[in-house]
């Protein structure tokens, strides 16, 4: 049975999906990746999205990240209908409001940690001096002071993911979208990364939506949304979160 999710009482609604469908292909070969998704995420929430492979969770995250568009339905960000934005406007929304953390780190291999973190600021056209200050602050926030000149090949997996998180938060995003952020890490490094993400959520109020297969990682979230066959199957909210 499909469940309709709602943000906690008193939380400003930052993201809302209304009856969102996503279909790939046409006719008998059509694949319905999402079927009538209704979802609300409040400002400052930490939401984990779970479900088996092919359940629609990654498709939903791609829509939230303005990397894909619904076949039908409405996606609102801060009350703005994203479906009515042009491609360039959606790119600006991604650049100024969203941060991304991926399972594979996606760092430039021959580039230092500092330069990797500066990259989103280069796209913004920020002057070099200001970029450097912001990037140094972001690396300090993830505990990598002293590692600024190291390339990804000189860093552990956990350190590389910290660089990726610093790159994601250097723009001060409203929303951090994390796709299996600990998928390539051992359990100890996974806990370290999740502690970093949880701190950004609790201390800075950054809204986090995270896809994970790991129940031990999902417990860091305040709300767990489970997908099944393109629909939201259930949700679980930790008591006392307001």
State the pLDDT at residue 7. 45
Backbone dihedral angles phi then psi of residue 142, each to the nearest 5 degrees? -100, 10
Q: Does 38 reside within a domain?
A: no
Q: Does 168 reside within a domain?
A: yes
State the pLDDT at residue 1. 35
Segment 148-166 shows an average pLDDT of: 95
Write the pLDDT tens digit of every residue in 20-73.
999 999 888 899 999 999 999 999 999 999 999 999 999 999 999 999 999 999
- pLDDT-based confidence at 135, cuts 50/70/90? very high
Distance separating alpha carbons of residues 127 and 42, to the nearest angstrom: 33
CATH number at residue 154: 3.40.50.300
* DSSP H or E segment with residue 127: none
Look at 98 and 7; give whichever has higher pLDDT: 98
Q: Does 219 reside within a domain?
A: yes
Strand partners of residue 41: 15
Asked if the model's pLDDT at residue 242 lies above 80, the reply is no
Q: Does 130 reside within a domain?
A: yes
Q: Does 157 reside within a domain?
A: yes
Distance separating alpha carbons of residues 226 and 228, to the nearest angstrom: 7
Query: What's the full length of the chain, in residues?
Result: 242
Q: Does 15 reside within a domain?
A: no
State the pLDDT at residue 238. 76
Backbone dihedral angles phi then psi of residue 51, each to the nearest 5 degrees? 150, 160
Domain that holds residue 50: 45-58+87-236
- pLDDT-based confidence at 4, cuts 50/70/90? very low
The dihedral of CA 134, 140, 142, 145: what is its sign?
positive
Write the pLDDT tens digit of every residue in 202-239.
999 999 999 999 999 999 999 999 999 999 999 998 76
Ramachandran quadrant class, 71 (left: phi over 0; alpha: psi -120 to 50; beta: rest) = alpha
Distances (CA, A) of 113 to 22, 130, 142, 144, 156: 37, 16, 12, 9, 12
State the pLDDT at residue 98. 96
Distance separating alpha carbons of residues 163 and 181, to the nearest angstrom: 12
Please tell me whether residue 221 adopts helix, strand or coil conformation.
coil
Q: Does 71 reside within a domain?
A: no
State the pLDDT at residue 9. 43
State the pLDDT at residue 12. 86
Number of domain units in the chain: 1
Asked if the model's pLDDT at residue 6 lies above 70, the reply is no
Please tell me whether residue 128 adopts helix, strand or coil conformation.
helix
Q: Does 30 reside within a domain?
A: no
């Amino acid at each position: 049975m499909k469940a309709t999710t709602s943000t906690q009482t008193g939380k400003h609604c930052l993201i809302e999906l209304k009856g969102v469908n996503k279909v790939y292909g046409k006719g008998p070969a059509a694949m319905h990746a999402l079927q009538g998704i209704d979802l609300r995420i409040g400002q400052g929430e930490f939401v984990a999205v779970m479900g088996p492979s092919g359940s629609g969770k990654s498709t939903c995250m791609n829509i939230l990240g303005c990397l894909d568009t619904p076949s039908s339905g409405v996606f609102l960000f801060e009350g703005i209908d994203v479906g009515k934005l042009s491609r360039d406007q959606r790119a600006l929304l991604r650049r100024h409001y969203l941060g991304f953390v991926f399972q594979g780190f996606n760092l430039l291999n021959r580039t230092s940690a500092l330069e990797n973190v500066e990259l989103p600021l280069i796209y913004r056209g920020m002057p070099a001096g200001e970029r450097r200050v912001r990037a140094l602050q972001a690396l300090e926030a993830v505990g990598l002071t002293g590692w600024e000149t190291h390339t990804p090949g000189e860093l552990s997996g956990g350190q590389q993911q910290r660089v990726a998180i610093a790159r994601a938060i250097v723009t001060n995003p409203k929303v951090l979208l994390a796709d299996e952020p600990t998928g390539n890490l051992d359990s100890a490094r996974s806990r370290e990364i999740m502690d970093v993400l949880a701190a950004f959520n609790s201390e800075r109020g950054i809204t986090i939506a995270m896809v994970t297969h790991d129940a031990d990682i999902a417990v860091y979230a305040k709300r767990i949304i489970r997908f099944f066959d393109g629909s939201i199957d259930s949700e679980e909210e930790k008591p006392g979160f307001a």
